[in-house]
Amino acid sequence: MALVLHRLSRSFREGDRLHAVLDRVDARIERGTSVAIRGRSGSGKSTLLNLICGIDTADSGSIEFDGATVSAFGEPARTLFRRRHIGFVHQFFNLVSTLNVEENVRLALELNGVRGSEARARSLAMLTQVALAGHAARAVDTLSGGEQQRVAIARALVHEPALLLADEPTGNLDEASAGEIVPLMHALVRARGTTLIMVTHDAALAASAERVLTLSDGRLAESEAV
C-alpha cells in the first residue's frame, strides 16, 4: 500500500497569466515511511499537501492512496476520506481556542462518529502519549508553543490515520521545543505504521526523515541525505 502521485499539475492565475506551481509531479511513497519535502518559499510545498489531503484539487494528474484514486472523489467523499485517513499538523497549531485541551483532541474522533465515554477515553490515552494528560482541562491558549503543538499532534493521530501531513511543524517553535517535538512525532508514527510527509525549511527536521524530496520549478526530485 502506498501513496502514488502521477503527473500531478496545479496552476494559479496571476493577473493575466497562469503560474504553474506543480508541473507533472510523480512520486511513490510507501506505507509507513517518513518523507521530508524541501524547497524555497512559494515553490508549491503547501499546495502539494493540500492536494494530497483533498483540500484543493489538481488541474490534471491523479493521487492514489492504498489503491483508491482519491483525486477522482467529489468534495463530500474527499472530506470523509480526509477525516478518516489523514491527520494534519500545522505550523500555527490551528487549535480551537474555545475548547480545552482534551476537547480539541476529541474533536477529531467526534467528526468520525466516535462520541461519549469512548471518545473521552481515547483522547486522554492519546494525551498521555504526548505527556499532557495532566493538562486535559486547560485552555489551549495557556499552553506554551511546544505544548500546543503536542496537542495538535495528539489531535492529528487520535483517530489512527494512515497518513500524517505536517506543514512546517517546527516553524513556530524555539529550538528546544522543536528538539522535543521531532522525536516525539517520529516515535508516534512508527508505533502506528503511519506514513509521515513533512514540509519543512528545518534542516534538522528534514534529516530525521527516511527520504528527502526537493520541490523546484514545479518538479519533485529525490535529494541527497541532508
In this predicted structure, the answer to whether residue 224 has a pLDDT above a threshold of 80 is no
Distance CA 130, CA 147 (A): 9
Averaged pLDDT score across all residues of the chain: 94
| CATH architecture for the domain at 2-99+144-222 | 3-Layer(aba) Sandwich (3.40)
User: In 31-153, at which residue ranges do the beta strands (DSSP E only) sit?
Assistant: 34-38, 60-65, 68-69, 86-89
Q: Comparing 149 with 66, which gets the higher pLDDT?
A: 149
CA-to-CA distance for 106 and 118, rounded, in angstroms? 10
Judge whether residue 225 has pLDDT over 60.
no
Q: Which residues of 51-88 are buried (b: 16+ CB within 10 A; e: fewer)?
A: bbbbbeebeebebbbeeeebbebeeeebeebbeebbbb
Residue keyed to cell 526523515: 209
Which residues contact residue 8 at a Cβ distance below 8 angstroms, ignoring those fewer than 6 apart? 22, 24, 25, 26, 48, 51, 58, 60, 61, 62, 63
| Grid cell locating 118 | 469512548
Whether 203 has a pLDDT exceeding 80, the answer reads yes
Where in 128-218 does DSSP place strands (E)? 163-167, 195-199, 211-216
Radius of gyration of the chain (CA): 17
What residue segments make up the domains of the chain, in order of their start? Answer: 2-99+144-222
Longest CA span, the chain: 55
Cell numbers for 24: 507533472
For residue range 81-137, what is the model confidence (pLDDT) as tens digits?
999 999 999 999 999 999 999 999 999 999 999 999 999 999 999 999 999 999 999
Question: What percent of the chain is modeled with pLDDT above 90?
Answer: 88
- Per-residue pLDDT of 10-59, as tens digits, reads 999 888 888 889 999 999 999 999 999 999 888 899 999 999 999 999 99
Tell me the mean pLDDT in the region 143-153: 97
β-sheet with 195-199: strand ranges across: 86-89, 163-167, 195-199, 34-38, 211-216, 219-222
The answer, yes or no, to whether residue 226 has pLDDT greater than 70, is no
Q: Phi/psi class of residue 128: alpha, beta or left (left: φ > 0; alpha: ψ in -120 to 50)?
A: alpha
Average pLDDT over residues 187-207: 94
